[in-house]
Structure 1
């Protein structure tokens, strides 16, 4: 199974390490990578920022519990994707091996000798002949019986988003044809597209609830533009649905997770810059929840750090 990079890896401790071990590892790494001991070393500064972010999470019991739950969810998702791919490969191999002709010939011969089979065939033939005679005798009935417009009511595909209501949008149905136009064309294809939008409200950064980190959960820097987070699988790929994250009214970037209610797993992870929008497109139709969290960076991060007690 693919390894999930966590804050435990950043501090070089095990997932069940007590607070004493976490604190000792943090002090050792701080002495090695502190900017005062490495002036002008950008790599040491980046590593120190990652170490500080990891310690802020693991030193807080509540945030550490949330991080452990996130690790369990991500590992379950990766394991599910890998097992699904393995099953698909086995099914393809089994399908190739099962293409050999089966023994249907004896059964087909028995059906040919069964008088009930011949009786049913004759009954269908007689019924078809009677219907043809009836239609030719009453020409006025044929257009009414066969002039089906071929247009069904499209089914809307919605995305469940607790912070904001989703807006279903369906492709417009084709106009109904004339009563006798059935003979000139076939049944039109029905196409629907489910579109949902989440509008993130503007808010002042909350140091107690917002995500205070200069790096993504995997330890890498946040993307410079709105995009999917690298290192995370992009699941539920299809062509019937899309979800737009509208962060244009918010001065803070947001970390977004798209949660599949049927699979009970996160299928998309994205980072949306402030005053911007990002679309999670090419989704299979289904029921989803959009989970988002404001990210405190820059000046807001310094303000939150000044409010926290020194470790």
Structure 2
């Protein structure tokens, strides 16, 4: 049993005796359906559109259509050879768009699902990083039998394990604990934030200078480790400020 030949009529999905108006309408419909601009994710779109254009070029030209009809007739009668004047009218390739569409759609779906999953994971990582960055540990436990608990450093410094944030500025502030007989644990907050950007331990008769602070308003919250009292003061840093802002911790509140 011989295999059925495929023709330009098959490519345009019209009957062999279809008038030119039907062929033209079929061509327009296929162009709208398979044009590459309408199928950006179909790798076969350009090949299919090329076949549609070639078939329409043959069938819309009366002379080429007659030659193509002769070729069809010759093939139908199992002629061993094809006349030379009809060879160029034989479809060199045919298309079946439905064969690759499910695979292309599956690939497209997997791509977007992977992209959405990646975006979710990335968002979660950013969220966890933000929580870690903004989380401020509680003050270490105070021991009243010694003004400097063993868990605190020996010298004035940033407390280990506490974040050091917002180092984009050029200002500095000096926290002076020279006049106090108690070690202090101080925290610097931007005035509109609940997140401490610096946590500092300062022993008695010592001071500490925090660098790289941006201009703006801040709160200095500190706790005296000898009696566990807590105090707070507001201060401001200016862009034109050349020297360190000095905050002196006194027995009665804060002084500048």
Q: TM-score, normalised by structure 1?
A: 0.26
Give the number of the structure with larger relative contact order, counting CA–CA contacts within 8 Å between residues 6 or more apart: 1
Q: TM-score, normalised by structure 2?
A: 0.32
